[in-house]
Amino acid sequence: MQIEVVIAGFGGQGVLFAGQVLAYAAMDNNMEVTWIPSYGPEMRGGTANCTVILGDEAIGSPLVRNPKAAIVLNLPSLEKYESLVVPGGALVANASLINRSPQRTDINSVFIPANEIAESLGDRRLTNMVALGALLTLLPVLPLQAIEQALRDHLPERHRRLLPVNYEALKQGAIFAERESIEISG
pLDDT at position 9, please? 95
| CATH number of the domain to which 112 belongs | 3.40.920.10
Residue 146's identity, in one-letter code, is: A
Counting the structural domains of the chain, the total is: 1
Its pTM stands at: 0.93
pLDDT at 11: 85
Domain range for 175: 2-180
* Residue 77: inside a domain: yes
In a domain, 38, yes or no: yes
| CA 104 – CA 182 distance, rounded (Å) | 10
Q: Mind listing the pLDDT tens digit for each residue in 91-146? A: 999 999 999 999 999 999 999 999 999 999 999 999 999 999 999 999 999 999 99
Residue at 185 is within a domain? no
Q: Which of 61, 60, 62 is nearest to 19 (CA)?
A: 62
What share of the chain in percent tops pLDDT 90? 84
pLDDT in tens, 46-83: 789 999 999 999 998 888 999 999 999 999 999 999 99
Is residue 72, in this structure, part of any structural domain at all? yes
Kindly state the DSSP code that residue 161 receives in the 8-state scheme. Answer: G
- pLDDT for residue 186 is more than 50: no
Residue 83 lies in a domain: yes
Residue 135 lies in a domain: yes
**Does any domain span residue 82?**
yes
Residue 186 lies in a domain: no
